[in-house]
Amino acid sequence: VQLDPQLPTGVQLQASFQIPDSLEGTPTVHDDLRYLVYLPQGYDDDPDREWPLITFLHGSGDEDYDSTFVLSSGLPGVLLAGEQPEDFPFVVISPQAFPGATWWSPGMVPALAALLDEVSERYRVDPDRVYLTGLSMGGYGSWWLATAYPERFAAMVSISGSGYRAPFTPEPENSCRLANLPIWAIHGAQDQISDPQDSNLSVLQLRSECSGNVKWTLYENEGHLGAYERAYRDPALYEWMLEHSR
- Whether residue 70 is contained in a domain is answered as yes
For residue 7, is it within any domain? no
Is residue 159 in a domain? yes
Give 36-65 pLDDT, tens digit per residue: 999 999 998 999 999 999 999 999 876 677
Interval 100-113: pLDDT, tens: 888 888 888 889 99
Neighbouring residues of 138: CB distance < 8 A, sequence distance ≥ 6: 56, 57, 58, 59, 74, 103, 161
Is residue 81 a part of any domain in this protein? yes
Question: Model confidence at 164, in pLDDT bands (50, 70, 90)?
Answer: low
Instruction: Indicate yes or no: pTM above 0.85.
Output: yes
On whether residue 91 sits in a domain, the answer given is yes
Q: Is residue 235 part of a domain?
A: yes
CATH of the domain at 52: 3.40.50.1820
Residue 92's identity, in one-letter code, is: V
**Any domain includes 1:** no
Residue 3 belongs to some domain of the structure? no
Q: Which of 81-90, 150-159, 199-208 has the lowest mean pLDDT?
A: 199-208
Q: How far is Cα 158 from Cα 227, in angstroms, rounded to an integer? A: 11
Query: Mean pLDDT, to the nearest integer, of 108-131?
Result: 93
Q: Which domain holds residue 96?
A: 12-242
**Arithmetic mean of pLDDT, 83-97:** 94
Residues 6+ apart with CB under 8 A from 128: 154, 245, 246
* Nearest-angstrom CA–CA distance, 66 and 31: 16
CB atoms within 10 A of CB 202: 28
State how many domains the chain has: 1
Q: What is the pLDDT of residues 16-33, one digit of tens each?
A: 878 876 665 555 456 788
